[in-house]
Every structure is written in C-alpha cells, then in structure tokens.
C-alpha cells in the first residue's frame, strides 16, 4: 500500500516526497516521523473543493489534536483552513505560529478559567461550550469584561457509531457535551440565548473517530436538525451554524475502504438538505472538523531494526528502536498498521513477523505483519502514522520524543527537533537535601 507521494525508487527503497527514506533515516536518525506535505495540502484542498461545490456556506476546521506544531499551523493558514484547538497548549502553538485567531475554534470538555481567559484575550472565532460549569464561568467572564462572545454548544445526539469503544463520543454515556434525549441541551441553550453577552451561533456534535461508513453521520445530522426545529418552535431561535465534527476514517490497512471525501460530502449535504427541507429551516453555515483524514495517511514512521528473534514454531520478533512512547495507539485502541522494510521495498513480503518496541514492557506494536526478510540495521517504515502518533508521544522509560520532518519535492525540513537527553532533565528539580556534592 503506497500512499500520497510514496513510491519505490531505482534503488528499491521507499521514497516519500522525492526523499529516499533510507537516506532520511541516515541523516536524521530514527525513530523519525516523516510528513508528506503534498498529501497534506491535497487533503485540505479536497475537503474545501468537495464542500464548496455542494454547500458553499461552509468552513473546514482542522482538528489540531491529530497533529499540531507551528509549521503545521503555517501550512493550514496558507491553505485558508480554520483550526480547532482543545487546550491552552494548542491555542498557544497556533498563536505563536501567527495563525489568525478569527479562524480558531476553542474546544475542551474541562476548560479552566485561565484557558477561557486566554481564548477571550485572543478573541478566537468561536468557543464551544461543553458543560454547565463552563457556561457559568464564561458568562461571568464575559460580564466582567463587557465582552460579546460567540459560542456553539456541544450536544450528544445519542448515536453509537461503529468504531472502537474508546473513540466513540456521540453516545449518551459520554463525558462530552449536553444530552439531547433528556432535554438537557435544549434547557441550557435556551438559557444562554437569553444572556446579553453571549451570541449563540449554533450547535456542535462529534460522533466518533475512524468511521469507515457514514451511517452515524447521517443519523446525527437528522437528530441535530430536529433539535434546531425544536428551538425554532419553542423559543423562536433559528441557529446560524451547525458543526458536525469530524471522524472520517483512513486506510491503515489495504483492506480498509473509507468513504472518499467527495462521497462523504454527498451524504452530509444530501442528508442535511433533506432534513432542512422537511422542517422548513434555512441552511445554516456548515462547519466540520476533520483531523485524521487530513493528516493520517500523510505520516510515516521510520525505525531502525535491532534484534530479530525467531522462536521456532511460535513467531519471529522484530525489535525496533521505538515503541509505546512514539506510538501508543496499538496499546490504547488495538490499532493496526501496515509496514514494510524501506530498504527492501522492492522485495517480496514473504515473512510473517511481530514487531515489538524496546521499552521495558511487552510493547507489541504490529502483530503478524508480512515483511521482506528483515535484518539488524534495516529501516522499517510504518504507514499512516500522521494522526495521534506524535501528538500522543510520551517520555516513557525516559525515551526522547522523535524528530518530525516535512518532505516535499526532494527537500526535507525539520519541523520538530528531536528531544535531547538534556531536555529530559531540564525541568527536574533537585531538593538541596538530596543534592550530592559535585
């Protein structure tokens, strides 16, 4: 499975963005995250084109949690995307990169007072209200500042999507948002509409992630429009905006067949227009928050293979120089990936192996994958690691975070430096009573 600008070059090596991955590993070291700039931009443009053609009153809001750094913010700004942030750190990153605050949407299910103040100081475009405590803090702050605040309200439509239990977010039993079935959402939003400092622009929902069919989105849009109709009938409020979140899946395996962005747009717009017509409602501005489907397939992780351990009649372990700290998703979500030996990309993948990490842990990364016969020193490439790999990386076992490079037209630019050993102890503090004489 070759993605984006990936190809096999004359040396039989995997190449991305015109850069030989074996040469990248030699120059920058491993583990190494490689991001395909052309594919990132192509995915942004595909979303914008698909919805501009079908529903011009729309905004495509990249979900920063999937992968974010200052260079990514700059790329998104060039592509005229909006940006979803969910923490002070993500907001700070965007602002430091010069991303326009008027295109930033502030999320989070437990925003602190400091985070709300930061968002208000920056005058972000929208704050998405998630719970009643946050609503009380926001009302108080807006009143103190005599500031008008544009908000959306996150609702939980009661949809149970077909995805891993830990990435479902639209069902009733969730920490996110206001519940629709029990009337909580309608009650709280009605109160907010009456407050002079809040401009309630509309509602937001997100049903889950890595969705490989569109039924959950269809059902959620139907419920959301019913709620909009209820607001109009009960209190005369007509929502200006409807944010349908993200969740479109990607190819982690060759067998995965996620909907295309165009077919996704067909279903979303078709369902929305049908429901609006049934309830005689005007078209709201359509907002959505793709993350994984923009950045996931654009990322590849390179490792150097160490020991190859054959247990006769059981399995062959291939151990790499990373693991749980740079890709926790197999442990968290039973995530699966396809891999190939980058320096033997033209050779048949005729051996079944299990790839393990080097942590003091049974950190099985990729179980029973087919590869060309591996040897110590080979470079292993893992496909579709652009989303939630760098973003979730940790310092477990005091491993350093890998470097990130952006490749395009044969040029590789470092966009996140590799952490150093000195970085690991930079914030450690030694009490005087424990300090040893030097």
Bridge partners (DSSP) of residue 405 are 34, 414
Task: Give the residue among 48, 21, 49, 51 at the shortest CA–CA distance from 34.
Answer: 21
Domains 7-36+296-420 and 37-295 equal at CATH topology level: no
Torsion of the alpha carbons at 261, 265, 266 and 270, rounded to the nearest 10: 160
Residue 166: per-residue pLDDT: 37
The structural domains of the chain, with segments of one domain joined by +, span 7-36+296-420, 37-295
Residues 388 and 409: their CA atoms lie apart, in Å, by 25
Residues 54 and 61: their CA atoms lie apart, in Å, by 17
Residues 418 and 421: their CA atoms lie apart, in Å, by 10
Residue 234: per-residue pLDDT: 81
Residues 127 and 141: their CA atoms lie apart, in Å, by 13
CATH 3.40.190.10 fits 37-295, yes or no: no
226-279 pLDDT, tens digit per residue, is 888 988 888 888 999 999 999 899 999 999 999 999 999 999 999 999 999 999
CA distances from 298 to 5, 14, 17, 54 (A): 9, 14, 10, 26
pLDDT (tens place) for every residue of the chain, 438 residues total: 899 999 999 999 999 999 999 999 999 999 999 999 999 999 999 999 999 999 999 999 999 999 999 999 999 999 999 999 999 999 999 999 999 999 999 999 999 999 999 999 999 999 999 999 999 999 999 999 999 999 999 988 766 544 434 333 434 567 878 777 677 888 888 889 989 999 999 999 888 778 888 888 888 888 889 888 988 888 888 999 999 999 899 999 999 999 999 999 999 999 999 999 999 999 999 999 999 999 999 999 999 999 999 999 999 999 999 999 999 999 998 899 999 999 999 999 999 999 999 999 888 999 999 999 999 999 999 999 999 999 999 999 999 999 999 999 999 999 999 999 999 999 999 999 999 887
Query: Considering all CA atoms of the chain, what is the largest pairwise distance in Å, rounded to the nearest integer?
Result: 78
Residue 168: per-residue pLDDT: 37
Residues 303 and 193: their CA atoms lie apart, in Å, by 53
Torsion of the alpha carbons at 125, 130, 135 and 138, rounded to the nearest 10: -40
- Is the CB of residue 216 less than 8 Å from the CB of residue 161? yes
Any alpha helices (H) in 214-328, and if so which ranges?
215-235, 261-278, 292-295
- The full DSSP string for 106-125 is E--SS--HHHHHHHHHHT-S
CA distances from 425 to 52, 251, 395 (A): 49, 38, 11
Task: Give the residue among 328, 329, 337 at the shortest CA–CA distance from 394.
Answer: 328
95-104 pLDDT, tens digit per residue, is 999 999 999 9
Query: pTM of whole model > 0.95?
Result: no
Task: Give the residue among 72, 70, 60 at the shortest CA–CA distance from 36.
Answer: 72
What sign for the dihedral angle of Cα 100, 104, 110, 112? positive
Strand 178-179 and strand 126-129: pairing?
Answer: unpaired
Collapsed DSSP state (helix, strand, coil) of residue 48: helix
What sign for the dihedral angle of Cα 250, 267, 161, 239? positive
Residue 161: per-residue pLDDT: 43
Task: Give the residue among 186, 212, 183 at the shortest CA–CA distance from 200.
Answer: 186
Fold for the domain defined by 7-36+296-420: Lyase, Ornithine Decarboxylase; Chain A, domain 1 (2.40.37)
Per-residue tokens: 270 = 């078709």
Residues 234 and 225: their CA atoms lie apart, in Å, by 14
- Is the CB of residue 258 less than 8 Å from the CB of residue 292? no
- Is the CB of residue 151 less than 8 Å from the CB of residue 128? yes
Which are the contacts of 187, defined by CB distance < 8 A and separation ≥ 6? Answer: none
Residue 173: per-residue pLDDT: 63
Where in the sequence numbering do the catalytic residues fall? 360
């Amino acid at each position: 499975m070759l993605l984006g600008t990936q190809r096999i070059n004359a040396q039989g090596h995997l190449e991305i963005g015109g850069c030989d991955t074996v040469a990248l590993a030699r120059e920058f070291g491993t583990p190494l995250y490689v991001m395909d700039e052309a594919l990132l931009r192509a995915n942004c443009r595909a979303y914008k084109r698909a919805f501009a053609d079908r529903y011009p009153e729309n905004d495509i809001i990249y979900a920063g949690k999937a992968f974010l750094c200052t260079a990514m913010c700059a790329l998104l700004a060039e592509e005229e995307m909006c940006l979803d942030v969910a923490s002070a750190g993500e907001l700070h990153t965007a602002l430091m990169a010069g991303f326009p605050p008027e295109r930033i949407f502030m999320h989070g299910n437990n925003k602190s007072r400091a985070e709300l103040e930061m968002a208000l100081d920056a005058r972000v475009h929208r704050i998405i209200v998630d719970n009643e405590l946050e609503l009380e803090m926001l009302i108080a702050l807006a009143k103190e500042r005599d500031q008008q605040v544009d908000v959306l309200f996150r609702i939980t439509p009661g949809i149970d999507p077909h995805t891993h239990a830990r990435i479902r977010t639209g069902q009733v039993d969730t920490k996110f948002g206001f519940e629709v079935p029990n009337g909580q959402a309608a009650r709280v939003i009605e109160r907010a509409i009456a407050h002079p400092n809040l401009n309630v622009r509309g509602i937001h929902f997100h049903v889950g992630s890595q969705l490989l069919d569109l039924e959950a989105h269809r059902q959620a849009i139907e419920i959301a429009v019913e709620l909009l109709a209820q607001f109009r009938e009960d209190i005369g409020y007509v929502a200006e905006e409807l944010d349908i979140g993200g969740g479109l899946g990607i190819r982690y395996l060759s067998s995965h067949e996620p909907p295309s962005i165009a077919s996704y747009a067909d279903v979303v717009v078709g369902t929305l227009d049908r429901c609006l017509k049934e309830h005689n409602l005007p078209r709201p501005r359509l907002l959505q928050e793709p993350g994984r489907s923009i950045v996931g397939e654009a990322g590849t992780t390179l490792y150097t293979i160490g020991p190859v351990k054959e247990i006769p009649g059981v399995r062959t372990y291939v151990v790499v120089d990373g693991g749980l700290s740079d890709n926790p998703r197999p442990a968290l979500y039973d995530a699966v990936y396809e891999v190939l030996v980058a320096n033997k990309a033209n050779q048949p993948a005729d051996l079944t192996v299990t790839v393990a990490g080097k942590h003091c842990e049974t950190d099985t990364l990729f179980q029973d994958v087919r590869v060309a016969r591996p040897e110590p020193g080979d470079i292993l490439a893992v496909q579709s690691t652009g989303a939630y790999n760098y973003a979730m990386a940790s310092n477990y076992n005091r491993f350093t975070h890998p470097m990130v490079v952006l490749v395009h037209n044969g040029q590789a630019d470092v966009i996140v430096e590799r952490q150093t050993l000195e970085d690991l102890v930079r914030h450690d503090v030694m009490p005087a009573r424990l300090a040893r004489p030097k």
